[in-house]
Amino acid sequence: MSLLEEISASLQKGDDNEVAELTKRAIAESIDPKEILDDGLVGGMDIIGKKFRNHEIFLPDVLLAARAMYAGMDLLKPLFLKDGMPHIGKIVIGTVQGDLHDIGKNLVGIMLRGAGFEIIDLGKDVPPEDFVDTAEREGADVIGMSTLLTTTTPMMTRVIEILKERGLEEKISTIVGGAPVSVELAQEIGASSYGYDAANAVEKVRELTA
Amino acid sequence: MEPFLDRISRGEILISDGALGTMLFEAGLEPGHCPDMVVLEKPELLQNIAEQYIEAGSDIVHTDTFGANPLKLADYRLQDRTKEINREAVTLLKEVAGDRAYVSGSCGPSGRILEPYGDEKPEDVLKAYTVQTEALISAGVDLLCLETMIDLKEALLAVEAARSISSEIPIMTTLTFDKTPKGFFTIWGATIEESVTSLQAAGADVVGSNCGNGIDIMVEIARAFREATQLPLLIQSNAGQPENRGGQIVYSEGPDLFAQKAIELKEIGVSVIGGCCGTTPDHIRAINRAVS
């Protein structure tokens, strides 16, 4: 097994110490950091994502793999300091104002990071303006909104309204998800896309940023 | 009242209550506001809802303490009011229930993620549930309902905590499952089989499922539970999925469907039937008529 394959394997096992050790070794052996990221870390997370989608593994395993992925990414970050960590898109995510549920949103963040996106996670109970202010300031491509409560879906509508008010609706796409959200609701409120679960969210975000 | 477990072992079917959360939202609960604080702020609202369920046929009413675990209350910085909220929640229901219905102490997930997947230590989760169940039991609940569990380890810690306070209090424990092509799993990966085995060993008296699904899937889940265990079963189904119809949230499954399916649940051998998100006193009335 090559060193990068070992990193991927250890990541899939959720062994963050091992991934850190192997990543250090790969850096010391002058392997291109982008290769370490793509083939080692993102490669491992991709397999995790596929297994999760196929119901072969569940949330705890994804969380462990994510922890291992972050352990490796933390070591690579300084090497990308000049241009920043390469990414295929920048997404602002959060649970909407009035809602504190975040497991779903956290999982989406993990899967998107694992797919090579840069994530700015605003946490929970996020006011509509904050989503747009942050996306605008950071040059994000997509705003992702999550909610578990039926009563807070108007907060998603408000974000889309603010984007329109600021003339940003072409520049910044939106994707929504959560138990009370459906593809019909997403269409009604004018969201760009809808993800029915975390794995689907990654596919949809890839389409939005293609 | 006659002991809850005696009636169940005699083969009686008991009717639980329906949703509380969605009823509170209908009554104007602000999103972002701690739902358990309604206990202290608008107790008469909770008493009114309980009265409606009892009149509709509920044999059991649940306290508004689903999120009153100190770890969960900490999200609102209200952890110091844990005992107060849990005790008051019981007292206000006992006033209404009298000898017409059992008061069940509702305990939901802590909202934290246990090591090694997250940062929460099992002993801290155990302590949190011990504080909550002690308050509920000392205030005089007739039984406990540890519900909407997804992490089996957490559910077991909750049962352990309750049993450390009382070896006799009847404990109902329900988990939320997803239907997948590979079978029923909680999002944490627990199966029905491993859940019933460990819950039984830990001292749960009644097991089952609540939330996450409409009643068709809940019937399938009930069947799977019945195959896995002889323990009494509890099923509390959502009223289908919420749909946005011109700004109004409407749940897709009505009382008539619930009545139909309740008969199936009875045939499967479920002992306690109630409702979760989106259900109303009308759903309970329909269930009651169908199985009583």
Segment B7-55, tens digit of pLDDT = 999 999 999 999 998 899 888 888 778 999 999 999 999 999 999 999 9
Instruction: Tell me the C-alpha distance between B36 and B140, whole Å.
Output: 18
The ipTM value here is 0.85
Say what the pLDDT of residue B161 is: 98
Measured in angstroms, the CA of A62 and the nearest CA of chain B are apart by 9
A182 in contact with chain B, both atoms CB, cutoff 8 A: yes
Q: How far apart are CA A181 and CA A147, in angstroms?
A: 8
What's the mean pLDDT in A43-62?
A: 92
**Which residue of chain B comes nearest to A150, CA vs CA?**
B249
CA B164, CA B158: separation in Å to the nearest integer? 10
Q: Mutate which of B37, B176, B244, B248 to disrupt the A interface (most A C-beta within 10 Å)?
A: B244
Report chain A's mean pLDDT, rounded to a whole number. 93
Confidence band, pLDDT 50/70/90 cuts, at residue A85: confident
Instruction: Cite the DSSP H helix spans in chain B.
Output: 4-9, 21-26, 38-41, 43-56, 70-73, 82-97, 122-138, 152-165, 192-202, 215-228, 255-268, 281-291
Nearest CA in chain A to B25: A151
With a cut of 90, say whether residue B292 has pLDDT above it.
Answer: no
* pLDDT tens digits for range B116-134: 998 999 999 999 999 999 9
Asked if residue B206 lies in contact with residue B272, where contact means CB atoms within 8 angstroms, the answer is: yes
Q: What is the CA radius of gyration of chain B?
A: 17
Query: Is pLDDT above 90 for A109?
Result: yes
CA A43 to chain centre: 15
Domains of chain A listed by start with CATH number: 3-80 (1.10.1240.10), 90-209 (3.40.50.280)
In this structure, are residues A27 and A75 in contact, taking their beta carbons and an 8 Å threshold? yes
Query: Chain A within 8 Å of B116 (Cβ-Cβ)?
Result: yes
Backbone φ/ψ region at B95: left (φ over 0), alpha (ψ -120 to 50), beta: alpha
pTM for the full predicted model: 0.91
Interchain CB contact of A151 with B (< 8 Å) = yes
The pLDDT mean for chain B works out to 96
Structure tokens at A120: 């700015």
Whether A12 shows a pLDDT value over 90: the answer reads yes
Q: pLDDT class for A151, splitting at 50, 70, 90? A: confident
The CATH code for residues B4-291 is 3.20.20.330
CB contact under 8 A, A182 and B244: yes
CB B193 within 8 Å of CB B131: no
DSSP assignment letter at A86: -
Best mutation site among B187, B194, B241, B251 for testing chain A: the one with the most A CBs within 10 Å?
A: B187
- pLDDT tens profile A31-43: 999 999 999 999 9
Whether the Cβ atoms of residue A194 and residue A175 lie closer than 8 Å to each other: yes
pLDDT category at B182 given cuts 50, 70, 90 is: very high
DSSP string, B162-214: HHHH-SSS-EEEEE--EEETTEEE-TT---HHHHHHHHHHHT-SEEEEESSS-
Contact A153 B187 (CB under 8 A): no
pLDDT attached to residue A33: 93
Cα A18 to Cα B150: distance, rounded to the nearest angstrom: 29
Question: Distance between CA atoms of B99 and A115, rounded to whole angstroms?
Answer: 58
pLDDT at A174 over 90: yes
Asked whether residue B184 carries a pLDDT value surpassing 80, the answer given is yes
CB-based contact B31 A61, cutoff 8 Å: no
Please, which residues have CB within 8 angstroms of residue B40's CB and are 6 or more apart in sequence? B81, B84, B85, B88
Contact A10, A49 (CB under 8 A): no
Contact across the interface for B31 and A100, Cβ inside 8 Å: no
pLDDT per position as a tens digit, B126-174: 999 999 999 999 999 999 999 999 999 999 999 999 999 999 999 999 9
Q: A168 in contact with B at a CB cutoff of 8 Å?
A: no
Band of pLDDT at residue A80, cut at 50, 70 and 90: confident
Nearest to B242 among A57, A59, A150 (CB): A150
| Per-residue pLDDT at B247 | 66
Name the percent of chain A lying above pLDDT 90.
Answer: 75
Residue B205 has pLDDT above 70, yes or no: yes
State the pLDDT at residue B13.
Answer: 98
Contact by Cβ (8 Å): B107, B128:
no
Res. B2: pLDDT tops 80 = yes
Q: Is B271 left (phi over 0), alpha (psi -120 to 50) or beta?
A: alpha
The whole-angstrom separation of Cα B259 and Cα B86 is 33
Does A99 contact chain B (CB < 8 Å)? yes
> B241 contacts in A (CB within 8 Å)?
182
Tell whether B25 is within 8 A of chain A (Cβ). Answer: yes
Q: Which segment of A44-58, B223-237, B276-290 scores lowest on mean pLDDT?
A: A44-58
Tokens of A69: 């992925």
Residue B1, chain A, CB below 8 Å: the answer is no
All residues at 6 or more sequence positions from B168 whose CB lies less than 8 Å from its CB, including other chains: none
